[in-house]
């Protein structure tokens, strides 16, 4: 597996930020964002509709996927996808 550097909102000192600011920060850092927050999903879709660029969101509904499945699918994405392939897209887990 290629080196994947995970950065949480908490580690970045950004806990409590509103969803648009979290997505702005991910864009600033050029990092694909993983979330189980439906409000953040709505923000990503709004940006798609408006043609506003973002580095990509991977979304998993809390009731429809296990933590183990999320980890497995995120590892697969990290191994197989180039971040540019995820730009301006929303991917849903499980794959």
The residues that bridge with 35 in the sheet, in sequence order, are: 59
Residue 92: band (very low, low, confident or very high) from pLDDT cuts 50, 70, 90:
very high
Locate the domains of the chain by residue range. Answer: 19-93
Strand partners for 91: 58
State how far the Cα of 61 lies from the Cα of 37, in Å rounded to an integer: 8
**Bond into 94 cis (ω within 30):** yes
Query: Under a CB-based contact definition with an 8 Å cutoff, are residues 19 and 40 in contact?
Result: yes
pLDDT in tens, 42-66: 999 999 999 999 999 999 999 999 9
| pTM reported for the whole predicted model | 0.89
Distance in angstroms (rounded) separating the CA atoms of residues 31 and 62: 22
């Amino acid at each position: 597996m290629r080196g994947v550097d995970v950065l949480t909102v908490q580690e970045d000192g950004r806990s409590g930020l509103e969803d648009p600011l979290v997505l702005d920060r991910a864009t600033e850092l050029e990092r694909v964002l993983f979330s189980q927050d439906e409000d953040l999903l709505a923000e990503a879709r709004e940006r798609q509709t408006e043609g506003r660029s973002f580095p990509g969101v991977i979304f998993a509904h809390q009731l429809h996927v296990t933590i183990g499945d999320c980890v497995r699918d995120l590892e697969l994405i990290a191994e197989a996808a180039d971040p540019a392939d995820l730009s301006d897209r929303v991917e849903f887990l499980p794959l």
